[in-house]
Every structure is written in C-alpha cells, then in structure tokens.
Chain A
C-alpha cells in the first residue's frame, strides 16, 4: 500500500467539549476535517465529524454464525456418519449435549475474528510505527487536523488557522506525515 505524505495543519485543545464544539464549527464553516486524535473515546465525536458507523459488529455476527455452524455440523457428522456409537440405545444425534461446545465455538470464533479484523482495519500490529503528530494526544490533549495539499492557497491556510484559534486551540502547528490511504476493507468497516 502506498504511503503518501500529507501536510497537516492542526490545533490542540485542552478539553473534549471544546474540541466537540470546534469540530461542529469547522464543519459548519465548510472545512473538511482530516482527523481528530483524543486520549480517550469522546462520545459523539464520530458523528460530529460525519464519520460513518463502523460495521465491525456485523462482521462479528458473521464470524459467530460460522462458529455455530462448524460446531453443530461437525459434531453431528462425527456422531451419526463417521463414527456412530451405540450408547445404550440412545439417539446418536443428541442436540442438547452439543449446546455447550456450540456456544463456546460461537463465542471463540466471533471474538477471535472480530479482534483480528479490528487490528487489521486499525493498522495495529506488534511494532507498527505510525506517524504521530503530537505525543501528548495520548495523554491529555485533543487534536483536530486539516490536510493542506500543495494546491492550498495562503488564504485557505489562513482560514483554517483562524478557525483553529477562534475555537480555542491552545497550540497550532503544521507537520508533514506519512498517512496511508484506506483500502476497500477499511472503508467498509
């Protein structure tokens, strides 16, 4: 995957409520927000930024259903087709006895599948080295950033700076970072 360089103009805020208002204001002024970074999940930020809902739970359902099907069909096949044993004349297909393993496998596949997908779409892996704009955003500062490509005019830059300072950013800075584009799977989920 290509890793295009992006020039980011960003502001740092001290409180999540100030950030939320800043996001709403920037959108109202017609600015395109590139991304926001926060030290903890800020409720309503995704909707304020106009992000689509994640579909990770739908994937979780699909993974879980796969587990249910695998467990049920496999145990039924072993006990009726591949190795039927006569337990004192009891039926070979004993569904109640399959409940615990079916449940466990459903949960196992749903969890492992969802976490794997989650790591993939968030580009999380041992040793992954992302470009970070400001290390304090994982501790106590809230960041709102705008992408400024080569075509951005001085007037546009000034406009963004004005919005950042008017919405209460305590620091405004500019940095060029590597930020890979999202492929189809990351866009879906």
Chain B
C-alpha cells in the first residue's frame, strides 16, 4: 500500500505540485463560473450550423433521397462515408477508457472523460446517417425484431447491415453508461462546491446522490473494471462489423478479409486525431496544461504513428493482393483507385494517412503542440477520404460499363455533413461547460504515483513532507512511520 515510488524515468502526468484541493479547484473552477464571452460566441455559431444541418435533414426527408447526388450505380456516397467516419471518431473514447484501463496506462486519466464524451457525440452523429439514408425514416422501426403482422416477417439475422444496428446501438448504450458511471462522483464534487440555488439543484439531480463511501467506491471500481473488460472487445467489434457491411459483399475493392483489422486500426487512428484536435484547444482555453501534459500528447502521438502505419501497411497489402490474386476485376478496381477519375481522393488519403503520421517518429515533433494540432487535422481529413475512396471509387465503375458514372455531392449532402460537425461541436462545448472535463477522482488517485513532486523527490523527502503535514496538525509521529504493508 501507500505510494509505490516510481522511477524518475517515468515522466510526471500531473505537474505544478498539486494538492487534492488544488486539483478540485483547477478542474471544477471553470464549471462553476458564468460562461465566458468566447464560449457563448462559439456555441452560438455551432448551434446555428447544427440547426441549418437539421433543417436540411428535414428537407431531405421531405423531398427524398433524390436530393442527393446518388444514382443507380453509386448508391452510397457522402452519407455512408460520413457514417463510417463518425463511427471511427467514436472509437478513441472507449479505447482510451477501456483498453488503456486494462493495460494500466495512467495517462488515460487526463483525457478519458472528454474522449468518452466525444465518443458519445460522434456516435450520435454517425447514427443519423443510416437513418436519413433509409429514405422513409418513419419506417425505421422495421429494423427491430419485434412480433409483427407481416407474417411475422423477421429481420435478416444473417445480414451485416442488421449486425450494424445491434453493434452501433450497443456501443452507444455501453459507452454512455460507462461514461456516466464515471461522471457521477465528479458531478457530486461539483454539487458539494457550488453555491447558487439552481446549480445546487441541478448538480444534486445529476450526481444521483453520490456520497463516496468505502462501499460505493469498492463497487465503483468493480463496475469500472468489468465494464472496461466488456467495452474493450466491444470497441474492436463495432468497426469490425461496420467493415462487414463492405467485406461480405462481392464488389471488387470491398470483398477482402483484411477489412476488419484495417478498419479498427483506422478508427483508432482517426479517433485519436479528433481527441487531439479538440483537447489541444480545450487544454489551452481551460488552462489544463498541468493535467494534459506534453507526456499525454506524446503518448497519443505514439498511438497515432502505430495505427497510421498499420493503415499504411493495409493500403499496400490491398494493392498487392489485387495484383497477386490475378483477378482482373480486383486488379482493375485498384488501378482505377490509384489512377482513375478519383485519383486525387486516393492520393489525398495516402498523403494524409500514411505519409504525414511518419513525422511522429521524431521526438521533437511528437512533443510539439502546434505541429500535433496541424497534423491531427490532416489525419481527420485523410480518414474521411479513406472512406470516400473505399465507398465511391469502388462503386462508380461497376461490371456494366454503360452504367459507369461520376459522383458529385449536392448542397444537401454537404450541408448535412457540416451540420453534424456543428452538432458535435455544440455538444462538446456544452459538455466542457457543465461537467468536469478531466476525471477529477481518477486524477487524484494517480497523484501519488504520477504527480511531479512525488516523482522528483526521494522517498525520504516525501516522507518528510507528510511528516511535516502531520506535525503541523498535531499528529502522533508513530502513525506516519513509513511502513507500507500490503494487507
């Protein structure tokens, strides 16, 4: 028990010699004050963008999918591209909280709460696209297997599109539960600090009456661990199943067994990029540099260079297999990808996803905030192009050359996509204002192993510090003898 003294090789994850009180003040402070002018301006803008997006969704429901640039050859365009892109972004949060919890990576505590929030908002954006792409959205309940008067005619349990319904809705539900279960103690911290009548009432409602008793924490830890154990394979399953939408079809360019791992790596890649894009801004505005340190940014950049390289290997493997398979259709599909009418999309993808993350082999660049921010935007764009390349280029030249076509999105598709960006940003801005952005309780629990004062000082110095604290409040010295037994 007690603080396990960590070798100084480990970089501190909490800087500024924080005490527990300071951690609470730093993280809960921005939540309690009135909203700043810049926050109000930002959220007004994003909310207007979101509303325009929703109005356009209404327009496309009213007039039908004919308002899109799709035709008989190209049945999936920006809609499914956006769906897959958003689901991919939604992979970082649960990966950080679940898989990194199982791997005991302490740096996750700085970013997990906001990354999970991003997951939830991104999956909400993702879920909109298949729904509106149904065309007749009022019949969406047909996707659920319920006893009906049509036979009963059941949904097709052998179809990856139905698996997707289960995968996305389960992923959303479990991510939401995992996120909120972790948020309850932190909301209780805010509840016990705010003084305003309305604030007190709202935080009392949303903190569910948390007290922080020993038994509550014991159950909390057990629940977190089991939910992490369940969510870890779930994260991997979601994009695997999304990739089945393509891989189980017989379209050249889609029909490959490499898709599941390649999609999962791509999803983690884009998810981390989006977390970096938003957190680098939030870190600056909310003054969280002591909690989201350069060490955190470097760790995330290492994940980016790993997953980016996996994605790169997958792209090259696809090209190799197209040649090695000897199938003329596969061969043509990939020649067309690289040098067909959409060559620019393919090369935008290659540049952003394969070339750009390689800069992160250089330590100085991994630790450079501005460079990381710019690169994260490149990756967001590149991963959007990846989905566009897979979907549109594979479809636009099918087996019947007279049906070949060229797809250009209409203003409806573009506006809906920008609208979801606005919705995502609005949700995120609301979240940073009403809830602690960093997991307060979890950060406190790693202070003794990852706080800078505990890493840089020798055990004797730390001991003397505690002793000083004890003596100043009149404690018995015998009680603070350094004796860390593990019963």
Contact = CB atoms under 8 A, between A and B. Distances in A.
B441 A40 contact: yes
Most interface-central of A53, A132, A167 (chain B CB within 10 A): A132
Interface string A136-150: 111110000000000
A14 B473 contact: yes
A5 to B, nearest CB: 17
Contact of B237 (A38, A56, A104): A104
A46 B479 contact: no
A103 B237 contact: yes
Interface of B: 1-3, 19-21, 23-24, 145, 151-154, 157-158, 160, 162-163, 166-167, 170, 173-174, 177-178, 181, 184-185, 188-189, 191-193, 204-206, 208-223, 225-227, 230-231, 233-234, 237, 241, 244, 440-442, 444-445, 466, 469-470, 473-476, 479-480, 486-487
Secondary structure class of chain B's binding surface, majority of residues: helix
Contacts of A127: 204-205, 209
A54 B444 contact: no
Contacts of B2: 17, 20
15 contacts: A17-B2, A18-B479, A64-B230, A100-B167, A103-B233, A104-B170, A107-B231, A122-B215, A130-B211, A137-B211, A138-B188, A138-B191, A139-B24, A140-B21, A167-B479
Given A56-B226, A140-B21, A37 B213 contact: yes
Secondary structure class of chain A's binding surface, majority of residues: helix
Interface in A140-189: 140, 165-168, 170, 189
B219 to A, nearest CB: 5
Nearest to A46: B218
A126 B208 contact: yes
B218 to A, nearest CB: 4
Interface in A60-96: 60, 64, 74-75, 78-79, 82-83, 87, 94
Nearest to B192: A135
B189 A138 contact: yes
B261 to A, nearest CB: 16
B70 to A, nearest CB: 27
A8 interface: no
Contacts of B227: 111, 114-115
B230 A107 contact: yes
A188 B1 CA distance: 27
Contacts of A75: 157
A100 B163 contact: yes
B213 A140 contact: no
B205 A126 contact: yes
A30 interface: no
A75 to B, nearest CB: 5
Interface string A1-44: 00000000000001101101110010000000001111111111
A40 B163 contact: no
A40 B447 CA distance: 11
B246 to A, nearest CB: 15
A139 B208 CA distance: 17
Given A78-B154, A104-B167, A46 B480 contact: no
A166 B480 CA distance: 11
Contacts of B445: 40-41
Given A45-B217, A47-B487, A111-B173, A135 B166 contact: no
A82 B220 CA distance: 43
Contacts of B160: 100
Given A14-B469, A101-B166, A118-B181, A41 B220 contact: yes
Contacts of B204: 127, 129
Nearest to B184: A124
Contact of B210 (A21, A115, A124, A136): A124
Nearest to B160: A100
A51 B213 CA distance: 12
B138 to A, nearest CB: 25
Contacts of A48: 487
